[in-house]
Structure 1
Amino acid sequence: MIEKPAEPKLDSLTLEQQIDLQIVTSGPISVATYMGLCLTHPSKGYYRAADPLGASGDFITAPEISQMFGELIGFWLVNLWQQMSEPKSFTLLELGPGRGTLMADILRVACRAPGFRDALKLRLFETSPPLMAEQQARLEVYEPRWLQDFESFENGPVLVIANEFFDALPIRQFIRKIDGWHERQVGLVDGKRAFGLSPTPIPASAMPEAVANAEIDTMLEVSFAGAEVLTRLAKAIAKQGGSLLAIDYGYGTTQTGDTLQGVRRHAYADVLEAPGETDISAHVDFGALGNVARAAGLATQPLATQGQFLTRLGIGERAAALTRANPAAAADIRTAHDRLVGQDQMGTLFKVFCAHSPGLAPAGFTA
């Protein structure tokens, strides 16, 4: 009797091979499933493998550009804490804290406020072991703890910071055809990954009202993962008081279009190539997140651009103060300022969303 050759162990396969095997075995997968595997596969996902930030990584976030970004959010948090009558205990949670740079800048400023440090319970949500190690190194003095879910918080208000977090959550894509909407999927064509459509139509009545009259071949992106995360956090904030501040690239009302993109070594890359080695993201539908927050009983502020938000918080004055303290760094400070608030840079592309307990008046959202 001839024995069949042993099947290769899954762990011995690359992520690329595992994804292809799953497609061959079970059929095409949704964009959300593909994105989730690429980014958060338990051992080979993009955020599991290495530190993606900085010049040696794939992208640079605002906290890595200048300390001013985090410092101003620190002032913002203290103002909100004071509006809540300086509670003696509160949770400060950051989603996707990166290297811990943002939170370190935030707390360096915020903990100058009498009572803030004593009341603080720092919580972090992170999936990358290398980044968790960096967060521990930078934030150890604040005794951080890492959360696995958003189901329970200790007594007191909950303040949440999410900088470039929601854009990395999986999205599903749907394309309008004559017989209805079809979900976009990832399959194999001649052995290579390619986009295709599910043959099963979804009635137009099941789609958001904003796209009811969409033209043929229109694409709609929906982040059920983002809605689920915000639902859980909003329920906690509605019950205990507090606020969520999210900064990301996105749009204020539900719209159509393909925003799925890959970035590798600071350049755009094909999202279907090099899974696990390419950052994949999509623009955030802040209109949808606002609907989720309000349904949970929270109030929301008018969506602001990052430039508007930071300018209203005083980034110009902060840049001037840093320049006076270190004249030799004036050019670098000006470059960082312009990159954070410039209309042709991050200032317009990135939006700032805030949902909070009714009665609070978060700074930075009105002139």
Structure 2
Amino acid sequence: MTWNWDMPGWPVFRYDAAALAPFEQRFLLSSGEILGAVHHVSAAERDQLRIDLLSDEAMKTSAIEGEMLDRLSVQSSLRRHFGLSPDNYPTKPREKGVAEMMVDVYGTHAAPLAHETLFRWHTMLLSHDAGLEAIGAYRRHGEAMQIVSGRVDRPTVHFEAPPSGQVPAEMDRYVAWFNRTAPDGADPLPALTRAGLSHLYFESIHPFEDGNGRLGRALAEKALAQNIGQPSLIALAFTIERARAAYYAQLEQHQRTLDVTPWLEWFAQIVLTAQQVTLDRVGFLIAKTHFYDTHRSRFNDRQAKAVARMFREGPGGFEGGLSAEKYVAITGTSRATATRDLQDLVAMGALRRSGERRYTRYWLRLGGGGADPG
């Protein structure tokens, strides 16, 4: 099998810029929409939006690699790093590390890329892993770096990266390319094209012993942020995780060729979808403000607790809606009281009801702002 890095012309990828132009235009328009929408939320809500989006990105970029994190621990770490009011939830090494990396990506987006940037991120991400030979450094092992699946005695090789001895030179060239194609570089590229190429190019070198996927997605975030002049705050990893199988298939396919227009089109659509996720979340925050302006003074303590819990579920709300049983579990009240409270919330227009009897479910009524699928 011949891989892209062993082909004549590497690392010059070929693609149809004209086919990508409509995606690039939509990306810039949506970036402006996000910026305008964010201005309509309060400073406290912007802080919460930042925490929610970054914690989701931390969770999902790890989930793509099969690693499940504690969301509350990630959020606690993020709050500490951003100097927000801390909570008492304990921070754990994995969660602390990925939170540190996300904050660093966010805070240093405008800085040129350097080897030290990648070493710093790698150390943050994997300092807890005593089993790695090289942390905060490119891989050095002599055996082939392969992406495999299947049985140990009969593995399927999806990709084999360049030998470790080639990595320093490959990464010198990669870092130079990343900075040269930046908006203020010698050969600037459009945002989606640059982000998509930066990710595929990095994954094809696979320079670290572990963590390459998470670092590669961080580089795509950095590229997008540099091209729009501020942290993108889009749900990139969140959206990729929803299309995980297609993501890996696209990478595998395009690590065997230098013709990458289909990869860039796929990646561009992922970014545009991620932008819409962010716009939906901003709309949810605005709707939440209007909701509380209308209803806050009318809730009893149990109702206030249940409603706050529903909002913590985000724009999608509880999967399947809020049931009376969930209300009892949240508030600790009796079933009869739960039924009266819920009927009262429907009557005042705070919740919408669907179904009958044991299939009755309740949804936040936000006037089109989210969490009301009906």
Give me the TM-score of the superposition, normalised by structure 2.
0.25
Whose Rg is larger?
2
- Point out the structure with the larger strand share: 1
- Point out the structure with the larger helix share: 2
Give me the TM-score of the superposition, normalised by structure 1.
0.26
